[in-house]
Chain A
Amino acid sequence: MSYSEVFEEIVNNLKNINTKLDRVIAKMEQKDDHVSKKTQIMADYLDVMTLLSLPDHLRTTATTLFEIGPATADEIANMTHKERAVESNYLNQLVRMEHVTKYREGRKVYFSINESLRKK
C-alpha cells in the first residue's frame, strides 16, 4: 500500500468518524430538547425563603443571577470573583434543583432564574 493510499484511507476514516459524530451530536441535542421541555413543565420556583435555605455557595450564585438577570457562567464568575468552572458547577447544581433554567444562544450557554407560573 502506497503512502497516498494510506493517506486516502485515513481521510475516509476521518470523514466517517465526522459523520458518526454529527449523528451522535444531533441525537444528544434532541435528548437535551426533550429534557429541557420536561424541566420547564416540572420547573420549581425560587422564592426568597427557598433562597435563604440554600447552602452559602449556591445562594451567592443564585443571588448574583437574580441581580444581573440571564447570564453566562463567565459573567457570574466575574461578579463573584470565583473561577468560571466553579460557577458553572454551582449553576448546573441549581439547574438540577430546578430553580434555574439553562439555554443556549449561539455558542454561549445562558442561565436564568425559573419563571414561575404567575396567578394575577
Chain B
Amino acid sequence: MTLTLAIHSSKGGTGKTSIAINLAVAFASAGKDTCLIDMDLRGPSLCSMFEPKVHFWINDFLSGRCNIKDTLKDIGKDMNTKGHLCLSFANPEIAEIRNLASKDRSWQAGALKTLMNGKKELIRSDMDIIIFDTSPGVEYESINAVAASDMVIIVHNDTNACYSCTEQLIKGIYNPLDKKCAIIDNMKHGNCLNNIERSRYGVPILATIPCMCEVATRSNNEILIHTEPEHLFSKSIITIKEEIERLY
C-alpha cells in the first residue's frame, strides 16, 4: 500500500522543503522505499540541497517527454538508508520557469492526468511513500500535487496571515477534493512544551516545532535527521512520521 503525501502551505517560508526532505529521509531510514518529488516548479529547491545528476527533470515528465522513472535519482546508498530514497528534481533554470508560467489551462489539465499516471506507475513499482514538495498557495502545480495525493500535510507558521489562509485552503481546496489533512505547527514562538492544541479547523495537529535559528542555518547544508537524530527538530520529524502512519 503506497501513501502519497503533499507537503503544502498557504504562505511561503513556512519550512515545507526542510520538513519534506527530513520526512523523506525518516521514512527511507525506517526501510520504506521513498520518493521525494519537487513540485515547486516555480521556485525549485531540492536541487540546492542535492546534486541533480539526472537526464530528465520532473518538468519533462509533466510535459510528456519522459517516463516518471527517468526523472528519479536514488540517493539511498549515499544517505545510508535502509529503503530506497529516490529524488525527482524540478528544473531551476529561469528560462524553464518562465516557460512554465506561460502554460495554459489545457497544459495544466494534461499535467494533472500525467501526474496521476506517474503516481500509478510508482505504486506499481512498489514505492511505499511518495512525497510531493509543493509551492505555497493556490498554484496549479501545487493543487495538482494535492489532487494526486492521499493526504495533505499543512506546514503552518505563527503568523495571522497563515492562520486565515490555511482555513480557506482546508475549506476551499482540501475538503472539496476529499483529502485527509494534518497540520504541522512549525517555527512556533512561545510555549511549546505545554501545548495542548490537538486540532485546528477540524484538522489534527501532528507536532509543534519551536522556532530555532539553528534549524534554518544548519538546514542549508545538512539534513538534521541524518546528522543529528537526537536534535529536537529530528525528534519532531519522527513524531510526525509516526502520527502520519497512525492516521493513515
Which stretch of A9-17, A18-26, A102-110, A112-120 is in the interface? A112-120
Tell me if A63 and B147 are in contact (CB < 8 A): yes
* Across-interface contacts of A120 in B (CB, < 8 A): 63-65
* Across-interface contacts of A117 in B (CB, < 8 A): 106
A60 to chain B, nearest CB (A): 7
A84 within 8 A of B: no
Q: How far is the CA of A102 from the CA of B106 in the complex (A)?
A: 20
The closest CB in chain A to the CB of B65 belongs to: A120
Tell me if A118 and B64 are in contact (CB < 8 A): yes
B189 within 8 A of A: no
* Across-interface contacts of A1 in B (CB, < 8 A): none
B117 to chain A, nearest CB (A): 8
Which stretch of B25-33, B173-181, B211-219 is in the interface? B173-181
Which stretch of B108-116, B129-137, B156-164 is in the interface? B108-116
A114 to chain B, nearest CB (A): 8
Q: How far is the CA of A23 from the CA of B173 in the complex (A)?
A: 50
B201 within 8 A of A: no
Tell me if A52 and B176 are in contact (CB < 8 A): yes
B61 to chain A, nearest CB (A): 12
Q: How far is the CA of A8 from the CA of B140 in the complex (A)?
A: 69
Which stretch of A29-37, A40-48, A87-95 is in the interface? A40-48
Contacts A60-B178, A120-B65; is A49 near B143 (CB within 8 Å)?
Answer: yes
B50 within 8 A of A: no
Main SS class of interface, B: helix
Name the one of B63, B110, B143, B172 contacting A45, with C-beta atoms under 8 angstroms.
B110
Tell me if B110 and A52 are in contact (CB < 8 A): no
- Chain A interface, number of residues (Cβ within 8 angstroms): 23
Tell me if B178 and A48 are in contact (CB < 8 A): no
B112 to chain A, nearest CB (A): 5
The closest CB in chain B to the CB of A112 belongs to: B113
* Across-interface contacts of A46 in B (CB, < 8 A): 109, 112
Tell me if B176 and A116 are in contact (CB < 8 A): no
B156 to chain A, nearest CB (A): 22
B144 within 8 A of A: yes
A77 within 8 A of B: no
Q: How far is the CA of A118 from the CA of B64 in the complex (A)?
A: 8
Known: A115-B110, A117-B106. 16 other contacts (CB 8 A): A45-B106, A46-B109, A47-B112, A48-B108, A48-B140, A52-B172, A52-B173, A59-B176, A59-B177, A66-B147, A67-B116, A116-B109, A116-B113, A118-B64, A119-B103, A119-B104
Which residues of A are at the interface with B, using a C-beta cutoff of 8 A?
45-52, 56, 59-60, 63, 66-67, 69, 113-120
Which residues of B are at the interface with A, using a C-beta cutoff of 8 A?
63-65, 103-110, 112-113, 116-117, 120, 140, 143-144, 147, 172-173, 176-178
Which 5 interchain pairs have the tightest Cβ spacing?
A45-B109, A47-B109, A116-B106, A116-B110, A116-B109
Give 30 A-B contacts (CB < 8 Å), ordered by A residue. A45-B106, A45-B110, A47-B106, A48-B143, A48-B144, A48-B147, A50-B105, A51-B147, A51-B177, A52-B172, A52-B176, A52-B177, A56-B176, A59-B177, A60-B178, A63-B147, A66-B112, A66-B113, A69-B120, A115-B113, A116-B106, A116-B110, A116-B113, A117-B106, A118-B63, A118-B107, A118-B110, A119-B104, A120-B64, A120-B65
